[in-house]
Structure 1
């Protein structure tokens, strides 16, 4: 590895040589990864080591080259939804809903109350599956595999619910401008009830195995800590910010999709370390379950989509049998319906923080400019500072706890 760095004239290689000549102290360079299937190459961490202690780190992103934002500027609004799936693919429906809300803001569309509550159920379920993966995989990264198995069954059930609603599982392409493409079926409601009944028991088992486990606590407490001031300066949002003690949640600060109707607590930590990040996500899972139950019990009557025929795809049975519906379907999909000139920003509380969409439209078939504020891209910039002075094993736990989703690093 050092030979490769010498050829590339990497600064760490020069430091190693100079330190060796100065006092004979032997430093080393380590290419850290992969701790995740995409770590090697997609985001790279070159570490300057003194034994097992990290002196410095060189973190690199930008290997995916997805160019989501530029592609979006050449696609119609419906075609862009599939791009949002690939941002945080562990909670893709939240990305979908955020996109539709941004488009609806540009178009001035008022979404029916029922559709808003249906969106809340799906977004909170997506938040649960995202936190479930983060917290259980953190256990796996530390050698505790069993808790992971306790809860993955319910991620599968959540994916079955997505499939029942929209036909897809992981990259969902869910929803439409103004609501959903169809109402939830009886099977979907039955599986949602099954999730709400069974998952809390499985999550309690995971918490009993890990939360007060002495080994687990010793590995996480005080590790990868970041202060509230540092987190705010870096632009942290979501659980990683709230773990530092900053009480900020987009659902409360700028309510959307009727979140003001729901009673829930925003969990916050104190120390901003890896253990607090784990505990905040664990508490948020319980609050998401509470929100889902409220939405399920108080589901309003009415339509599951807004009355916007210029932008809402007609029913398939009419497309197959009526010429007018076929024409409308073609015009909407191909972007032939004029889009008003607008400049909007809309943000939601995604699983990892504030997911914002900034969009300018110029009246053409595609947005003039689109920018995604991806929370993972922002807080990964602090990883270097968070692991300085830590050990290799601490760096692994820290990376797992901040929940970097590679799809958000290079848009």
Structure 2
């Protein structure tokens, strides 16, 4: 029997015009399917308009605009210090990291970034790395659930709960913290926090080994993700992808090393990258493997921060985490951009100030999930509909910072 070669739509055909054509003695008809919008948890309220030819994906169009955070316009009507709670609500599973990126930008505009106490800096890095692990646990757990495995999701949420409880002990909130302030912190670490955090590190290490064996090295998981959604490095760079999506394609690019902001220059850690160990470099498996390895590196960073906080920069009665918090934040007239490495990639903030007001004239957020999501059509064309879900989950997008 002669094999049928499927044809895809020509470049001049719009997605709203399904094409019917004849191939040999068979008719093949393209059909438009709507996938989503999904619930705000996991990948957020994202609707995909999928042009299919049978089980083959011919094209995908991502439709945004279901969450309406309106972060940028809110920020242009509030003083700098009151914007922080809105920053929390962009990537709501990595709020500490988002706060750190925003606050560093404002502090650099004010010129106080070099005056911060070391204890403040190490506490910021400590809580940011705890939040990075919690974010990766959501990414890996929901990804396993997307492709049919329920147990890893439950295990990872169980371990993530330890982090959320510590952060709640720290500032009173589980997800939206408002803890990192311009010029300092809301409060010093609670008494006993360092010891409790070290207990968690020792608890989590064997759990990460279990995660590696249960999910990443699982034969079914490998068959489901290897050679699927392959993102070549040149394409990742051209689309502006960052974070594990970019590093999964083999490039060692991490702003914690490149820009060495805060006290990351004083801390030893590695940058995991995709190597194509079970498939091609840049596939869905590589992106998830990078996230698991980054959890190990975050534990290394946390251990070093705890050592610094308990030996060199100890708790004292004289220490005031709000000593440098300005009463009025009024930067000079300028355009300024600051960036940091969030769990999902580069989060940047552009500020425009007039030098007279404590309310910014313009605020623009460079959200990592937005760029990472933009590469979805390129990864999906020619693949199966069943693999489309695997590709979306491997990008780890949160719609709070996409529809901002």
TM-score by length of 1: 0.87
**TM-superposition CA deviations, 1:94-115 (whole Å, max 9, x none):** 1111111111111111211111
Q: Is 1:370 paired with 2:380?
A: no
What SS class does the counterpart of residue 247 from structure 1 fall into? coil
Shift of 1:65: 2.6
Shift of 1:279: 0.5
Partners of 1:135 and 1:150 lie apart in 2 by: 11
**TM-superposition CA deviations, 1:206-252 (whole Å, max 9, x none):** 21111221111000001011100000000011110011111110000
Q: Could you tell me which residue of structure 1 aligns to residue 385 of structure 2?
A: 392
Q: Could you tell me which residue of structure 1 aligns to residue 352 of structure 2?
A: 360
Q: Could you tell me which residue of structure 2 aligns to residue 108 of structure 1?
A: 111
Q: Could you tell me which residue of structure 2 aligns to residue 233 of structure 1?
A: 238
**TM-superposition CA deviations, 1:359-406 (whole Å, max 9, x none):** 122120201111111000011111011111111111101101110101
Q: Could you tell me which residue of structure 2 aligns to residue 155 of structure 1?
A: 160
The 8 Å contact of residues 377 and 409 in structure 1, kept in 2 or not, is answered as: yes
Shift of 1:307: 3.7
2:296 maps to which of 279, 286, 289 = 286
1:30 maps to which of 13, 29, 33 = 33
2:128 maps to which of 115, 120, 123 = 123
Shift of 1:167: 1.2
- Structure 2 unaligned regions, length at least 5: 1-12, 276-280
Q: Could you tell me which residue of structure 2 aligns to residue 76 of structure 1?
A: 79
1:96 maps to which of 94, 99, 103 = 99
Q: Could you tell me which residue of structure 1 aligns to residue 336 of structure 2?
A: 344
- Superposition map of 1:269-280 within 5 A: 269-270=274-275, 271-280=281-290
Partners of 1:200 and 1:396 lie apart in 2 by: 30
Q: CA RMSD in A?
A: 2.1
TM-score by length of 2: 0.88
Q: Could you tell me which residue of structure 2 aligns to residue 324 of structure 1?
A: none
The 8 Å contact of residues 38 and 47 in structure 2, kept in 1 or not, is answered as: no
The 8 Å contact of residues 59 and 381 in structure 2, kept in 1 or not, is answered as: yes
Q: Could you tell me which residue of structure 2 aligns to residue 64 of structure 1?
A: 67
Shift of 1:50: 1.2
CA 111–128 in structure 1, closer or farther in 2 if over 3 Å, else same: same
The 8 Å contact of residues 33 and 40 in structure 1, kept in 2 or not, is answered as: no
The 8 Å contact of residues 184 and 324 in structure 2, kept in 1 or not, is answered as: no
**TM-superposition CA deviations, 1:334-363 (whole Å, max 9, x none):** x5x644333321111100011111112212
Q: Is 1:305 paired with 2:304?
A: no
**Residue-pair matches, total:** 377
CA 39–95 in structure 1, closer or farther in 2 if over 3 Å, else same: closer
Q: Could you tell me which residue of structure 1 aligns to residue 268 of structure 2?
A: 263
The 8 Å contact of residues 151 and 199 in structure 1, kept in 2 or not, is answered as: no
1:49 maps to which of 31, 49, 52 = 52
The 8 Å contact of residues 111 and 305 in structure 1, kept in 2 or not, is answered as: no
CA 73–180 in structure 1, closer or farther in 2 if over 3 Å, else same: same
The 8 Å contact of residues 44 and 400 in structure 2, kept in 1 or not, is answered as: no
What SS class does the counterpart of residue 389 from structure 1 fall into? coil
Q: Is 1:196 paired with 2:201?
A: yes
Shift of 1:30: 1.2
Partners of 1:338 and 1:401 lie apart in 2 by: 41
Shift of 1:42: 3.2
- Structure 1 unaligned regions, length at least 5: 1-9, 312-331
